[in-house]
Amino acid sequence: MLASKRLAVLQCLDWSAVVAAKSSNSPCAVVHGQRVISRTPAAMQYGVQVGMRRRHAQALCPDIEIVAHEPNRDRSAFDTVIRTVNELVPLIEVSEPGLIVFAVRGPSRYMGGDEPMALKIIDALKTSIAANSLVGVGVADSRLAANIAAHASAVASNRSGLFAPYLVEPDKTSDWLAPQSVRVLSEFANINRETISLLERLGLNTLHDVCALGESVLAGRFGELGVELHRLSRGDEQHQLVVVAPPPEHLCVEKFDEPVCDQQVVVNSVQRMASAFTEYFSIHGTVCVRIIIAFESEDGKRSERLWYRPQGLTASAIVESAKWQLEAWPVAAGLARVQLIADEVRADTARQLKLWGGTTQTDETATQAIGRLSELLGSSAVQIAKWQGGRDLLDSYELVSATHVQTIDSANSDKQLTVAKWRGALPTPSPSVVYNEPVQVQINDQHGKLLSVSARHELSASPVVVIIGATSYKVISWAGPWPVEERWWDTARGRRLVRLQLVCEKITVEDTPQISAMLAILEHSEWTVAAIYG
């Protein structure tokens, strides 16, 4: 039995937006695809929320600064914070910019207790963080609880103007977690939002309800995921950790005969070690979720950092992390030694890919290819589609990494087509080409005026021509407008739009007409083409 590790989480709220904004007081939102992923407190005042579409945010706050998502910017800006905290705490874990996790036992004892430690760290950070950014520290026995506490601390310090760390009493974590809403599981523990909404519909609203149901009932209903939900709700770590003999030294340590200054050489050797490292654990049916990467320079300086990934660290994830650690560690002398140390290991549940359609030879070969492709390209470049339900063409299926699928019930997929159609869903046949970034177009009537739609969902006139860029298409026939209102009760995520099907014709160079059918959408007074029947 491993001793419980009391953790501290330092969170800088809305880091992406705070770093991107021109000044600390202006409203700013960072956008990825069409959705807001981070926004400054000033933007929040206008009602802008994470997950909202860009156009909606602009409608709420016309002066808002919209910045494209750039992970490198977030990372390099966070490096000063990392360095400051690292001076006080020798071993820290940074999995994403804005969040630092570390074990409290050592630092707390050294600095005279949990609270003095937290205050000391925040004090040290005063110079590296912008004046108005929200920072919080949470300390608890489980990662989930510490995350919730850190978030609460950050939000509270904004209101009072004073910083106050949130400390959950030792051994009281499960009691403290009990009244929390199940939503914290999707906000702080990366559980799928659909699963959480299902829990709520089943009448489970707090973590206490989830615990009370019992682990075996949850496992029966959700499989491996159910076990994780129960573990998180009672204050344990998400995964059951296993103890595996550490890999032989030649697999995880590389000593350079000559000190190396070229970063690429180091990265190549990390790549070799990472592949062998993950292979070793995979052979034992396990996967490493937390790893320490240690660099040692010729003159004896060491850089040690923890890296954590609940789904399991792949070789490419390890290489990414090593690169980030190297970039943030400016060292004049060359590198003499690189070491990978496994910190937390769990059973490899990615084996569940085998549940798909049985374990035929074809399935095995495909599964191996998926693994290899994920290593080559990164797991986000290899995806499968999961049924989610919804009216929007883009929302009914969610694309998820092929290697991180929890449970796929092959019987369910046959039911997909017979699932009761969402009201307001587009009639079949569905378009084969769907754009996730719709293109703005102009749709005009016979007088050249832009088409509009009245409050009673009537078109101002018949569409006659569609203009995309410099090309005009003549409208041959059309259907609609079909109004769609999504989540009318939710001011943040609500949408109102109309859809129009159009069949258009373009005269080509060969003088033969080219017929195309498309789906156009009018939202926030702008026409866009969302899909093509291609």
Partner 1 sequence: MQLLAPERLVVADDVCKLLPDSGLVRGRIIRCSGDAGLSLALSLCSRATQQGSWLGVVGVAHLGVLAAVEHGVSLERMVLVQPPNTSREWSVTVSAVIDGFDLLVVAVPARLSANDARRVQTRLQSRRAVMIIVDNMALSRSTSRFSSEREPDPFVADVILDTKTKSWSGIDNGSGYLQHRDVSIRVSGRRVARQREHLVTRRF
Chain contacts with partner 1 (rule: CB under 8 A): 356-357, 360, 362-363, 365-370, 372-373, 376-377, 381-385, 387, 393, 396-397, 399, 402, 408, 410, 413, 416-417, 427-436, 439-440, 459, 462, 468-471, 477-480, 501, 503, 506, 508, 514-517, 529, 531-534
**How far is Cα 224 from Cα 421, in angstroms, rounded to an integer?**
29
Which structure tokens are listed for 485? 């209102």
* CA angle 488–489–491, rounded 5-degree value: 85
Question: Closest approach of Cβ 467 to partner 1, in Å?
Answer: 9
Could you tell me whether strands 335-347 and 35-39 are parallel, antiparallel, or unpaired per DSSP bridges? unpaired
Based on CB atoms, which residue is closest to partner 1, 216 or 368? 368
- The nearer residue to partner 1, 25 or 514, going by C-beta atoms, is 514
Beta strand residue intervals within 202-285, DSSP E: 253-260
Nearest-approach distance from CB 409 to partner 1, in angstroms: 9
Tokens found for residue 391: 């009216």
Residue pair 477/469 in contact (Cβ under 8 Å)? The answer is: no
Which residue lies nearer to partner 1 by CB, 334 or 480?
A: 480
Bridge-based pairing state of the strands 65-68 and 28-32: parallel
Q: How far is the CB of 414 from partner 1 (least distance, A)?
A: 9
Give the DSSP H or E segment for 339.
strand 335-347
Distance CA 116, CA 104 (A): 12
- Report the residue number, 82 or 319, with the smaller CB distance to partner 1: 319
Residue closer to partner 1 by CB (options 46, 533) is 533
Identify the CA nearest to 86 among candidates 69, 100, 106, 75.
Answer: 100
Q: Name which of 60 and 370 has its Cβ closer to partner 1.
A: 370
What tokens were used for 436?
A: 């996730």
Q: In the bound complex, what is the minimum distance in angstroms from residue 131's beta carbon to partner 1? A: 41
Q: What contacts 121, CB < 8 A, 6 or more positions away?
A: 10, 85, 88, 89, 137
Shortest distance, CB of residue 490 to partner 1, whole angstroms?
Answer: 24
User: Which residues are within 8 A (CB) of 360 and not within 5 positions of it... i.e. 6 or more apart?
Assistant: none
Residue 400 pairs with which residues in a beta bridge?
A: 384
Cis status, amide bond into 429, omega within 30 of 0: yes
* CA-wise closest residue to 154 among 135, 139, 167: 135
Select 182 or 402, whichever has its Cβ closest to partner 1.
402
Shortest Å, Cβ 329 to partner 1:
28
* Nearest distance from C-beta of residue 354 to partner 1, angstroms: 12
**Cβ-based nearer residue to partner 1, 334 or 378:** 378
Which one, 129 or 530, has the nearer CB to partner 1? 530
Least CB distance from residue 68 to partner 1, whole Å?
Answer: 17
Tell me the closest approach of the beta carbon of residue 499 to partner 1, in angstroms: 10
Contacts of 385 (CB under 8 A, 6+ apart): 397, 398, 399, 400
- State how far the Cα of 352 lies from the Cα of 266, in Å rounded to an integer: 34
Asked whether the beta carbons of 308 and 290 are under 8 A apart, the reply is: yes
Shortest CB 450 distance to partner 1, Å:
16
Strands (E), 41-115: 65-68, 92-96, 99-103
Closer residue to partner 1, CB minimum distance, 334 or 389: 389
Token reading at 488: 């009318």
